A and B are shown apart, each in its own frame.
Chain A
């Protein structure tokens, strides 16, 4: 494909995207001259350029559309619903031809005559009137068609000789001279055109790669110069610049979510018409940015979610009135940043999911037993709609009223390392939350050792780690006809020994002769324990693709370079599960959910920690990870201890006095339990992590009131760490650089 055609395709697609946005707006403001002008220009530009490039089919179709649009723009017709539907069909027609040009380099075979006729029929009222002499006053303006899109080089081709049947009225002409830019209309046209630039994605990928390289080199420089006081300042500066550069290159790959949100109004319009719903769409956080490839990946899940909300969430207008709601339902799309994630919410104020019906259906379909179902809480029941098999359209649409393709939504989002959460209240509505990582190229991973090598295990699939020392291995690891199993809180977990999987022919130490670390993985609903020889630190790794030969092995999803310059292969948990034959039926998985819930009935689970001789409990659900580090890593802002974790500052709570106790020796290892508190993260300094146990409620003697702040753990009354009480960091430290400066000052 030559350069000119490619350019044409890109511009036309952008034009059509803009047209789509304008058309849905036009339905609300049918007389908006700006909108009409914009739509007209999009189609006109395509028509002008196609003539030049020789795409006859496209030209003919665009011409028919242009005629109709001309009349709308001149106010001879009002953009009513049938006309907008016709124009949307025109848009689809143009798109499909463009697609065929892109993929097959030809316009393809296809009859547009029906569509052209339809577009002409829509002009009929005007054409009929035009026969009456009184209406021919437009001819007064003999001025030629003004160049509608002067900025587009391609449209200057003097091909528009065909006289416009709908010559523009003079008053509208200045609008058209307005330069066109490939940006949303809200931006000021001139500046946007001057300050933006089209860059090839492959170039950005290469830059990202090189920055990853720089990060690694920096890590090595930092390690090498750590001992030299003269280099500290220099290496700190290098560290800062690298972090900043990385952030900015990542930003260059970012696109606003409005790129995919802009498709939604059309879907809402079409669906609400065909389903007889009345829906108002609210969009928030359109300018939240996300990596381009991730944006592509969530396009389908988002569409699914919107369809679901309209199809099963929002009720028919009369039903809404009957329950005292506004006949017009609201569908809200919201994008926002939350830590290192972008959260995309699709919420409706519809009927919500009838949890009882989900329960019934689950039992009926044999997904869970009636006993289990009775134990399950509302939240667990809602999770069932994500199970494959639970979401076959016919089965669910008429029962639970939700669930079509929900497993597809979950699979797609999890594929890119994201998470899906659902929240629903009967009669009030449903909120689906997609939690998407900011970028694909850098992922958090746990480095593990096996067969004398390092491997990276993506943390997205990792749910917990269990250490089985050699002397306990004989009892802890049980065998069932040659299949190793581990009892994880009373439940059998199939084990996969990584060394045996990777080197089936090699000699392996028995589990009783070495330390065993079980990484409990959850890959696409398959739960298993991967046994490795050793664990290293978690690292943010830069994913590098593997050559096709190695990809074919099927166990590795990529490779990465670690901080110590070693290479590590990135393990693919679901491929390992598949290779090792770990499968889990829906029945088992649901049963597993039930087991968790049964524990929840007993009481919340807590992480039991010890800080300077005292025991304390941290709610396990809030624990993100546990870090072991030398006390010298802790820095201070004023008197507040903080941990700089790759540019993210973590306030450290030290009520136990662990930091003070370790003060004298900078090499003392301390443990920081990183917890979630609302939307922020906080760290708790402890000296040991003891165990995980279920807590029991305690009651005050006499009043029998449930006591807050303490729980019964391992038959001892244990205080619960108050995460909310951890003071927030001073606001205003918004950028990494500012934080650094602040730290630099306080350290100096």
Chain B
């Protein structure tokens, strides 16, 4: 911790907070979603495609008596679609619930705010709007996703704009 204090004097001025984050994998990249926003994790789902829907819509899944719209993270990041099943994080945002399609769900990690850094300036604009900085872990970077920014309603507004 002491090294961190030296390197980031600004962060040390604020109280160090610990955040629980669920890690998810997409191709070779790890992403993190704050667990406070996760309602449930649904494993190996096969969403039903919706013809004529915006490209980022990954399809529909049946979730507890409701029909849930999913957002395909792969599509948002411009990756080719994955063969076979994907895992779904059921996320809660201000306008309701939606599912986030990821390749697989990792584990729940506790990360410290001192390890957080904002989006680097060289990141392209699209990714800047989707990511909420990253946590520097020992062996990798954990890119944070903000459920509010992934909300399909917001994505559609962003697309229209």
Contacts and interface: CB of A to CB of B under 8 A. Distances in A.
B48 A567 contact: yes
B60 A549 contact: no
How many chain A residues sit at the interface, stated as a range, is: 20 to 34
Contacts of A553: 50, 52-53
Given A547-B98, A548-B153, A550-B50, A565 B57 contact: no
Contact of A209 (B54, B66, B98): B66
B15 to A, nearest CB: 37
B48 A550 contact: no
A549 B53 contact: yes
A567 B51 contact: no
Nearest to B47: A567
A567 B48 CA distance: 7
B62 interface: yes
Given A212-B65, A559-B60, A550 B53 contact: yes
A601 to B, nearest CB: 44
A555 interface: yes
Nearest to B157: A549
A41 B58 CA distance: 59
B66 A549 contact: no
A550 B61 contact: no
Contacts of B152: 547-549
Contacts of A556: 50
Interface residues of B, number: 23
A728 B153 CA distance: 55
Interface in B65-89: 65-69
A280 B71 CA distance: 60
B51 A549 contact: no
B156 interface: yes
Interface string A551-565: 011011011110001
Contacts of B49: 453
B53 A561 contact: no
A559 B67 contact: yes
Most chain B beta-carbon neighbours within 10 Å: one of A561, A565, A567: A567
B51 A561 contact: no
Nearest to B49: A453
Interface in A511-560: 544-550, 552-553, 555-556, 558-560
A213 B64 contact: yes
Interface string A58-102: 000000000000000000000000000000000000000000000
A567 B54 contact: no
Contact of A566 (B48, B52, B65, B153): B48
Contacts of B64: 213
A503 B65 contact: no
B161 interface: no
Contact of A569 (B50, B54, B61, B153): B50
A453 B153 contact: no
A41 B48 CA distance: 58
B145 to A, nearest CB: 18
Contact of B156 (A212, A213, A552, A567): A552
Contacts of B98: 547
A545 B69 CA distance: 11
B120 interface: no
A550 B57 contact: yes
Contact of B62 (A503, A549, A561, A569): A561
A549 B65 contact: no
A451 interface: yes
A130 interface: no
Contacts of B67: 544-546, 558-561, 567
Given A559-B60, A567-B61, A567-B62, A547 B50 contact: no
Interface in B137-161: 152-153, 155-156
B88 to A, nearest CB: 13
Contacts of B68: 547
B120 to A, nearest CB: 30
Contacts of A204: none
A210 interface: yes
Nearest to A213: B65
Nearest to B68: A547
Interface in A468-497: none
B153 A549 contact: yes
Contacts of A502: 51-52
A549 B156 contact: yes
Nearest to B65: A213
A677 to B, nearest CB: 38
A547 B48 contact: no
Contact of A547 (B51, B52, B62, B96): B96
B140 to A, nearest CB: 33
Contacts of B156: 549, 552
A685 to B, nearest CB: 36
Contact of A544 (B51, B53, B66, B153): B66
A556 B52 CA distance: 10
A560 B54 CA distance: 20
A42 B101 CA distance: 57
A206 to B, nearest CB: 8
Contacts of B50: 550, 553, 556, 569
Interface in B25-68: 48-54, 57, 60-62, 64-68
Interface of B: 48-54, 57, 60-62, 64-69, 96, 98, 152-153, 155-156
Given A549-B153, A566-B48, 18 more contacts: A209-B65, A209-B66, A213-B64, A213-B65, A453-B49, A503-B51, A547-B152, A549-B54, A549-B69, A549-B155, A550-B50, A550-B57, A550-B69, A552-B156, A559-B60, A565-B62, A567-B60, A567-B61
22 contacts: A213-B64, A502-B51, A546-B67, A547-B68, A547-B96, A547-B152, A547-B153, A548-B153, A549-B53, A549-B69, A549-B155, A549-B156, A550-B50, A550-B69, A555-B52, A559-B60, A559-B67, A560-B67, A566-B48, A567-B61, A567-B67, A569-B50
